[in-house]
Amino acid sequence: MIYMRISASIIHTAPRLGFVPVEVFGIIRCMKRVYVDGQNFLYKAAEVLIEHGKISSKDELTKIDIRSLVENIVGVGVEIVFYGARVQVRRDLDDSILEKTTRFSDVARRLRNTLKNQNITFNEVGKLKVRDSDVCHNCQHRDLRMQEKGVDVGIAVDIVVDSLSGLVDEVILVSSDTDLLPAIRVAKARGVKVTYIGFSDKMTRAIIARADASEVIRNQEIIDAFDVYNNMQ
């Protein structure tokens, strides 16, 4: 976690950055910080958009108004951090993995441009790893697949550091990963409010029980966020 020294230029540009910083001993504090589990969010949002005929595959979801979607739920003036894995093109394996990693790399690049346009920070904390799939029962063939690793750890570390350092008053978590429960407990022990945002059909009871408040992202809100952003382009 990098502490940014306050400056006149930061103060003046803060509203355009999408959050309002507060000076505490020369260090910027963000009253509310949103921690978005990137793949978790995109996977579920893509499912909804595919079901409603907006896109045909998950790879197409690189343009969606995440900021308005979040701010419609928790209010304006929040810093949003989007967590994702580092994508490395693998040329040392078979052609299918080269094709997949090349495609993922292109999708990640376009997604970063979307996040940048919305003043959302992209935090590269995990890795996209190649692993063997389960053996097919019909052909007995084992395929190679891509799997994201380490993103939940990166989110948990940031929540703990931000809470212990007094950098946030409220943690807003957009993830249903129960591996984040220990970080939630640390935040609450420090008096930090924890708000959990999940999808309407995939809310996690364990996180609901630990959080101070829970909010639901409804399917229509995902569709609206997609339509609004793409109609602006």
pLDDT tens string 83-134: 988 766 555 556 666 666 677 778 888 999 999 999 999 998 877 665 545 5
Q: Among residues 149, 145, 215, 154, which one has the least CA distance to residue 180? A: 154
- In whole angstroms, what is the distance from residue 30 CA to residue 165 CA? 12
Over the stretch 140-154, which tens digit does the pLDDT of each residue have? 554 555 566 779 999
- As a residue count, the chain comes to 233
Spatial CA neighbour of 36 closest among 107, 118, 110, 109: 118
Reported as type and span, the H/E element at residue 153 is: helix 151-164
Judge whether residue 10 has pLDDT over 50. no
Residue 57: what pLDDT? 86
CA dihedral 41, 201, 230, 121 (to 10 degrees): -20
Contact 168, 192 (CB under 8 A): yes
Element (H, E) at 199: strand 193-199
Instruction: Name the fold adopted by 8-232.
Output: Rossmann fold (3.40.50)
Taking the domains of the chain in order of start, what are their residue ranges?
8-232
Dihedral of CA 12/233/36/172: which sign?
Answer: positive
What is the reported pTM? 0.79
